[in-house]
């Protein structure tokens, strides 16, 4: 009688039930908690509104926006972008290592993500200080109002991101409380922060 749970092909036997079980465990639609993805969608909609308002004001006064944009240091903007992109790479490696049970490696990658985040924070504070010293503030003109508002909102999200990374580290530290779901949820938030910065960088520093 044919055993439907297995298929023989020469010396090899494929256990269909084992294969189905493996696929069920390894296949996921989205990483992390669904609530985080709802938050990501909400944030995307809010920032889309901010970006839309910025574009409307920019088209109404292109000379002022271009002249003010020229006062930003593109090199610092590029550096900050690279720092967050590398931090996304390290948190992705953290998630992958945690999935494979390599928790020491995952913890190292989480610390590396914290390092890149702190480097971004330090660089951004330096950039703000430099611009304020040159006389550019929130009330200078429309461009700098948008600049300080958008980068300030992002900075707040970054600070929350440090708390989220702290939760990831806490989860990875002890076998008694390891939750892959929370690790992936934290990584999803961090990727969102990075993505928002890439959009802000493109609008404020690059677009002409």
> What one-character-per-residue DSSP string does 58-100 give?
HHH-HHHHHHHHTTS-HHHHHHHHHHHHHHHHHHHHHHHHHHT
DSSP states along 7-18:
EEETTEEEEHHH
Question: pLDDT at position 173, please?
Answer: 86
Residue 98 located in a structural domain: yes
Residue 14 located in a structural domain: no
Residue 1 located in a structural domain: no
Which helix (H) or strand (E) segment holds residue 109: the answer is helix 103-133
Q: What is the mean pLDDT of residues 149-154?
A: 96
Report whether 164 contacts 186 (CB < 8 A): yes
Q: How many domains is the chain partitioned into structurally?
A: 1
Q: What are the tens digits of pLDDT across the range 20-70? A: 333 444 445 566 567 777 888 888 889 999 999 999 999 999 999 999 999
| Residue 20 neighbours by CB under 8 Å, 6+ apart | none
CATH of the domain at 178: 1.20.120.80
Instruction: Specify the pTM.
Output: 0.80
Q: What are the tens digits of pLDDT across the range 172-185? A: 987 777 788 889 99
Question: pLDDT at position 135, please?
Answer: 93
Host domain of residue 184: 31-206
Residue 105 located in a structural domain: yes
Question: pLDDT at position 29, please?
Answer: 54
Residue 11 located in a structural domain: no
Q: What are the tens digits of pLDDT across the range 115-145? A: 999 999 999 999 999 999 999 999 899 999 9
Residue 143 located in a structural domain: yes
Residue 113 located in a structural domain: yes
Residue 77 located in a structural domain: yes
């Amino acid at each position: 009688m044919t055993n439907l749970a297995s298929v023989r092909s020469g010396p090899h036997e494929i256990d269909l039930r084992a294969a189905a079980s493996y696929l069920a465990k390894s296949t996921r639609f989205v990483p992390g908690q669904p609530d985080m993805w709802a938050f990501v969608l909400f944030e995307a909609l809010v920032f889309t509104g901010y970006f839309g308002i910025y574009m409307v004001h920019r088209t109404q006064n292109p000379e002022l926006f271009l002249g003010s944009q020229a006062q930003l240091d593109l090199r610092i903007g590029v550096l900050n972008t690279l720092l967050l992109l590398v931090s996304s790479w390290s948190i992705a490696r953290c998630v992958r290592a945690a999935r494979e049970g390599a928790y020491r490696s995952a913890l190292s990658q989480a610390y590396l993500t914290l390092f890149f985040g702190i480097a971004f924070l330090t660089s951004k504070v330096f950039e703000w200080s430099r611009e304020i010293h040159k006389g550019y503030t929130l009330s200078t003109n429309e461009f700098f109002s948008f600049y300080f508002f958008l980068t300030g909102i992002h900075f707040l999200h970054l600070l929350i991101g440090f708390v989220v990374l702290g939760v990831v580290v806490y989860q990875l530290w002890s076998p008694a409380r390891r939750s892959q779901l929370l690790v992936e949820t934290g990584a999803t938030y961090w990727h969102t922060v990075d993505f928002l910065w890439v959009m802000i960088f493109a609008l404020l520093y690059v677009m002409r």
